[in-house]
A and B are shown apart, each in its own frame.
Chain A
Amino acid sequence: MALFLLKRLAGMVATLFATALAVFGSIYLAPGDPAVFLMKGRPATPETLAAIRAQYHLNDPFAVQFGKWLGGVLTGDFGRSVQFRQDVGGLIAARLPTTLWLVAYAALLILVAGLAVGAVAALRRGVADRIVLVGTGVATATPAFVAAIGLITVFSVKLHWFPAFGNGTGFGGRITHLTLPAVALALTFAGLLARVTRSSMLEALAREHVEVARSRGVPGATVVRRHVLRNSLGPISTVTGTVVAGLLVSTSIVETAFGLSGVGQLLVSSVTVKDFPVVQAVSLLVVFAFVLANLLVDLVQPLIDPRVKGAAR
């Protein structure tokens, strides 16, 4: 187990290092002088260009620049935003709560709705199953921004139940402002999780030990809880990991659609004005969370199903 953990951690660090290198190096792929690039095409005097070169260490060799940047990142210093003229770390920290609330809210919706709908479809074959199959088929095909448009139309414009824009203040304000974004964000992934839950539970239901439990007169609810659900948790947890990781990217779409000032929206606005230090920092953060979510799933798997431990690579 310790060796497995060590291997996974090493893999995680390698992935992050490669990402950091790619994210940092991408600025050199851009046509033209990085200093001019960092000026976002504004006319610049030679003095400002020199100042920028000094600020971003552009006169050093690439490896040294990368080392300095990585050293800064590791100590929490992501450089300064070209757009806001502030520390990137502070910009992200100010927007992180909104994004985390949104992602947590959506994750909760995904887990509850996905598991419940999938379980209903697996246990009640027939009409309910057909409805769920069609519903999840449409849900997984609805991108978050289309869902956002639909939700705004119905619940903000027509019914006036929820606000269409803004962050909201306080706990209640946050909840009302984040409900529509969270639903829009959750829809695709909930559909996906429901499908996986359904097929995974159907597989477990068809197994012999379930039939034995039933024929021995174990109550139906107990059979489902102890023998069906537990056995189908493996694929469910794998998908949950990918889903949570995917949320972190899709949040930029939803935040833009609903005018929420979160990390995703910061990324989008920074790309638009080519604010590269921010793009680098947010990208790295997203990949870090992505890798972390997958690592957590790998760690949880042996707890759900001890047989995985032996098979761990």
Chain B
Amino acid sequence: MTAVALRRRRMLRRLHGGDALQTAALIVLAVIVLVAALAPWIAPHDPNGLDLSAALGGASGDHPLGTDESGRDVLSRMIYGARTGLLGPLVVVAVSTVLGAVVGVTAAWCGGWVDALLSRAMDLVFALPGLLLAIVLVAVFGPGLTAPIAAMSIAYVPYVGRLVRNVAVQEATRPYIQSYRVQGWSGWTICLRHLAPNIAPLVLAQSAMNFGYSLMDLAALSFLGFGVQPPDSDWGAMINNGASALLQGAVLPALAPGAAIVVAVVAFGIVGEGVADRVAKREA
């Protein structure tokens, strides 16, 4: 029992590195994930339940964060909004991390014209702002989450790919990789079993930060009306709705989801930087 508890504590310490700020950020992220997962059980009201008589009501016991212009409960909509808010970036980060890792390792391992071709391709994608790519795709395929997520997944590939390539190039010259080569292991095995695990922490740090950035980008697209469509609740779309109520003096419908976005992005940034710092320390 104690051994298990001890091991668990050591695991926790490895996770947060003993830094109070890191711990706080991880707790915030855990809370957001829990809220998103348990939305149907903890939301006090139906997120789409209209009640025009209670429109733009301020904070009260029944509605802790007030109601929006259609009388829907802001807190419940925010709780459900955490679902779309996390799901979109999750897909973006998963796709861009895998694609970026594959492209980066391939470029570094093969070298020569493959490296040149892949690097130029990544430069090209890097030259296209992700937000613009998403807007163009929305123009073609219509609004909804699909086009923005697809665009962001592609746009974030160079961020991961360039990093992986540079690290992998350095890593490939190190003795342990060289000796595997001499021993006749195949490139596949060396890359998958030995190279990838060694560069994974650094990629993880970048991906954590990308999660925050893509959350911001996707929320921005929803704010513009290109992402999550009504009546589905989303933090960005809620801000768009709440903006008109702002001039009537009701600030909570717009400010509350705005605060949620900032808190989530800050937390992801702190976690990402923390991991990157520790990787840097380990390397040094």
Contacts and interface: CB of A to CB of B under 8 A. Distances in A.
A90 B82 CA distance: 42
B163 to A, nearest CB: 16
Greatest chain A CB density within 10 A among B220, B254, B255 is at B220
A146 B261 contact: yes
A137 B249 CA distance: 29
Greatest chain A CB density within 10 A among B242, B243, B249 is at B243
A142 B262 contact: yes
B266 A141 contact: yes
Nearest to A246: B129
Interface stretch (B93-101, B171-179, B221-229): B221-229
A48 interface: no
A252 interface: yes
A277 to B, nearest CB: 11
B102 interface: no
A152 B251 CA distance: 10
Given A19-B128, A138-B266, A141-B269, A253 B220 contact: yes
B260 to A, nearest CB: 9
A26 B139 CA distance: 9
B262 A137 contact: no
Interface residues of A, number: 48
A152 B242 CA distance: 12
Nearest to A145: B223
Contacts of A64: none
Contacts of A257: 223, 243
Interface string A121-149: 00000000000000001101111111001
Nearest to A26: B140
Interface in B180-227: 212, 216, 219-220, 223-226
A257 B124 CA distance: 30
Given A149-B246, A279-B136, A141 B265 contact: yes
A263 B142 CA distance: 21
B180 to A, nearest CB: 31
Contacts of B136: 23, 26, 279, 283
A137 B266 contact: yes
B246 A144 contact: no
Contacts of B28: none
Nearest to A156: B247
Contact of A271 (B128, B138, B239): B138
A145 B236 contact: yes
B266 to A, nearest CB: 4
B144 interface: no
A245 interface: yes
B263 to A, nearest CB: 8
Contacts of A287: 127-129, 132
Interface in B257-272: 258, 261-262, 265-266, 269-270
B255 A153 contact: yes
Nearest to A291: B127
Contacts of B216: 141, 143
A145 B212 CA distance: 15
A166 B73 CA distance: 31
Greatest chain A CB density within 10 A among B136, B219, B251 is at B136
A252 B139 contact: no
B133 to A, nearest CB: 9
Nearest to B131: A249
Greatest chain A CB density within 10 A among B135, B212, B247, B251 is at B135
A196 to B, nearest CB: 14
B189 to A, nearest CB: 34
B127 to A, nearest CB: 5
Contacts of B270: 137
A248 B135 CA distance: 13
A279 B266 contact: no
B258 A294 contact: no
Interface string A13-42: 001001100010011011100000000000
28 contacts: A27-B140, A29-B140, A30-B141, A141-B262, A141-B266, A143-B220, A145-B239, A145-B258, A146-B239, A149-B242, A150-B255, A152-B243, A153-B251, A153-B255, A156-B247, A164-B247, A246-B129, A249-B129, A250-B131, A252-B131, A253-B220, A253-B223, A257-B223, A272-B225, A283-B136, A286-B129, A287-B132, A291-B127
3 tightest CB-CB pairs across the interface, nearest first?
A141-B265, A146-B258, A249-B129
Given A143-B219, A143-B261, A252-B131, 9 more contacts: A18-B124, A26-B136, A141-B266, A144-B220, A145-B236, A146-B258, A150-B255, A153-B251, A271-B226
